[in-house]
Amino acid sequence: MNNYIFGAAYYEEYAREDRLHRDLSLMEQAGINTIRIAESTWSVEEPRCGEYDFSHVTRVIEAAAEHGIAVIVGTPTYAVPKWLSDLDPEVLGRNKFGPRQNMDITNPTYRFYAEKIIRKLVSLTAPYENVIGFQIDNETKHYNMHNDRVLDGFREWMRARFSGDIEALNAAYMLRHWSASVASFEELPDPEGTVNGGYACAFEEYKRELASEFLHWQAHIVNEYKRDDQFITHNLDFEWKSFGKPGQQEGYSYGVQPGINHYDAAKALTLTGADVYCPTAGELTGMEIAYGGSIMRPLKRSPYLIIESQAEAFTGWLPYPGQLKLMSLAHLASGTCGQMYWSWTSIHGGLETYWKGILPHDGEPGETYREISQTGSLLKKLSAKLETKAQSRIAMIISPENLFAMNWFPTDKSLIYNDIVNDFYRALYEMNLDCDILYDRETDWSGYDVLVFPELYCASDDLVSRVRDFTAAGGTVFAGFRSFFADENALVRPDTQPHGLADVFGIHYQRFTKNDKHLWMELVEADGAEVIRYYDDKHWGDYAAFTHHRFGEGDAWYLACTASVEELKACFRKVCGSAGIEMPQLSWPVIYKKRGQLHFVMNFSDEEAEVSAPVSGTDFESGKRIEEDDRMLLPAWGAVILEKDRN
């Protein structure tokens, strides 16, 4: 891989003066080889209905070619122009004009004009040699669309799901409760008023499918014009953990995305793309970067592109010296084929005024530019050495359906599904145990030794059967509390818990409670399982908190309660030990990742760290020879890249 993408979003339309060639010269000097354009400015590209002006787009593409810079063209459909909402107010649904992503992506008027500008833009730009790919839309989600058309579509979706059998639907969601059953699909009520969690979750699933369909629709159009050597990508993002004022953007990437199913959406793409934003300065851990890689890599089992990452971002997130380089290396080590920043320059107006880019508001290169330039030079050298990151031996199974089920039936008012997923992942990350994250719809578990199920509440009979077969055939399974409790419709199973797997885990339980230490604790009784730990509780000390059971040729581990990250680490030591996975010697804040012959030893700490070299090889930057177990000094927020000797 000798064409690692290193770039930034570029908005020449926002510039208050003509600085195009100066910007491109600065990019060239910094090692930036790619820009992303056009995705945010439909109103510039079509200022009035049917009047197109792509002069900004072609001007940037042609100037970029002069500087040897490639271009990714984005379809500008996530921020609608005022003339379109005036033409058909239903384009905005229940929203007001102003914000981005405020439209109904199923609206026929919106689709009609979106298709026209996509065709105009892509047909115009695809022939340019330096246009290497297209980004369809931007951070697409369903945006809580809600109108008669969406509801009618939902009713037809339910009709197909239950093969026209309305009584099967009534039973699947237990609609007899509180007199909610219906006699026909036409009678299905608006889910917005429902008190039935399973029915509400089905509506969310339908809307996620609409979001995925929207991307497939755009990809189909782009495919009519793009060259064979041009890719189609999209910046899949994650749930946003916000901590700023309402309406502001302060926050970061946090777990499973509720508004679209990545597994389905990725099928529209030829190159998986993602946006990953993470806390920096004293709060930089690198976990969000690793999590992004864990969930993106398996979607196509290939390298992925970071389309947006922060340079400076907002107040309080100015990276300490060395952190920009460290974050880039963490992305690289996690399996990327490129990394891009949002954005090239800090803009002077609008909501993103203080989401700062590579260049400050005065447009002059500063310390951030200089560190990114040094990073670009290193990445260019590393790109010739890159190999596809190997599949992990551990896979964590997640599901957006579970996310919404846990909103309806929460473990505790202070816990959401993504809190639990992130705690399980953090334990693995801090132990340097590499992990892939798979959606529950993924059926190919080949190559994995350990499957981890953090609170997989909803599970189909097919999934339960595959877990059973995986364990019997020699695999290792680790399930967290509440897993396999309900079916795919969030309807609680009427048999011994965990459903269909009580004999696999060698346990059963009927009751659950909480205490001062655990927000959820199942009163598990062992039926052949070895009890690793009982509850430390005056009243419930006879019940198992953590168990192990041999089933067939494999091992089944069950954690019956909420646990701290340190307690989860203790569990993983036993789980991975039973699967023959060796515990790494290094642990957080020193993160160790391998990508082919390149071994990355990264220090996510404000203090120096002295560690033993994990392998023999050559320090990629200094050229110094290092033997395995030699002592290495890692600077604060620094890294050593070892090129391992080939056998």
At residue 352, does pLDDT exceed 90?
A: no
Q: Are 340 and 7 in contact (CB under 8 A)?
A: yes
Question: What is the tens place of the pLDDT at every residue in 102-128?
Answer: 999 999 999 999 999 999 999 999 999
* Confidence band for 247, pLDDT divided at 50, 70 and 90: low
Q: What is the pLDDT of residue 517?
A: 96
* 344, 23 contact by CB (below 8 A): yes
* pLDDT for residue 350: 87
Residue 455 has pLDDT above 70, yes or no: yes
β-bridge mates for residue 395, sequence order:
436, 451
Q: What is the mean pLDDT of residues 351-377?
A: 94
pLDDT-derived band at 251 (thresholds 50, 70, 90) equals confident
Instruction: Report pLDDT for 248.
Output: 67
- Going by pLDDT thresholds of 50, 70 and 90, the confidence category of residue 433 is very high
Which structural domains are found in the chain, ordered by start? 5-78+121-141+231-383 (3.20.20.80), 394-578 (3.40.50.880), 590-644 (2.60.40.1180)
Question: 130 pLDDT band (50/70/90 cuts)?
Answer: very high
Q: Would the pLDDT of 351 be above 90?
A: no
Of 115, 113, 106, the C-alpha closest to 140 is 106
Nearest 5°: CA angle at 267, between 112 and 308? 80
User: Does 288 have pLDDT greater than 60?
Assistant: yes
List pLDDT tens digits, range 510-545: 999 999 999 999 999 999 999 999 999 999 999 999
Query: What digits encode the pLDDT tens for the residues 172-218?
Result: 999 999 999 999 999 999 999 999 999 999 999 999 999 999 999 99
Q: What is the DSSP letter of 329?
A: H
The whole-angstrom separation of Cα 572 and Cα 424 is 9
How far apart CA 572 and CA 431 sit, in angstroms, is 9
For the segment 426-455, the average pLDDT, to the nearest whole number, is 97
Spell out the residues 6+ positions from residue 620 whose beta carbon is closer than 8 angstroms to its own: 381, 382, 385, 598, 641, 642, 643
Please tell me the predicted confidence (pLDDT) of residue 244: 73
Q: What is the pLDDT of residues 17-40, one digit of tens each?
A: 999 999 999 999 999 999 999 999
Model confidence at 454: pLDDT above 50: yes
For the entire predicted model, the pTM comes to 0.97
Dihedral of alpha carbons 223, 225, 231, 233, sign: negative
pLDDT over threshold 90, residue 409:
yes
Strands in 254-299 per DSSP E: 273-275
Write down the number of H helices and E strands in the chain: 17, 29
User: Kindly report the CA angle at 474 between 472 and 478, in degrees rounded to 5?
Assistant: 85
Segment 464-474 shows an average pLDDT of 98
Q: Is the pLDDT of residue 563 over 70?
A: yes
The residue whose two tokens read 């954690």 is 559
**Predicted pLDDT of residue 250:** 80
pLDDT at 2: 60
Residue 1: predicted pLDDT: 44
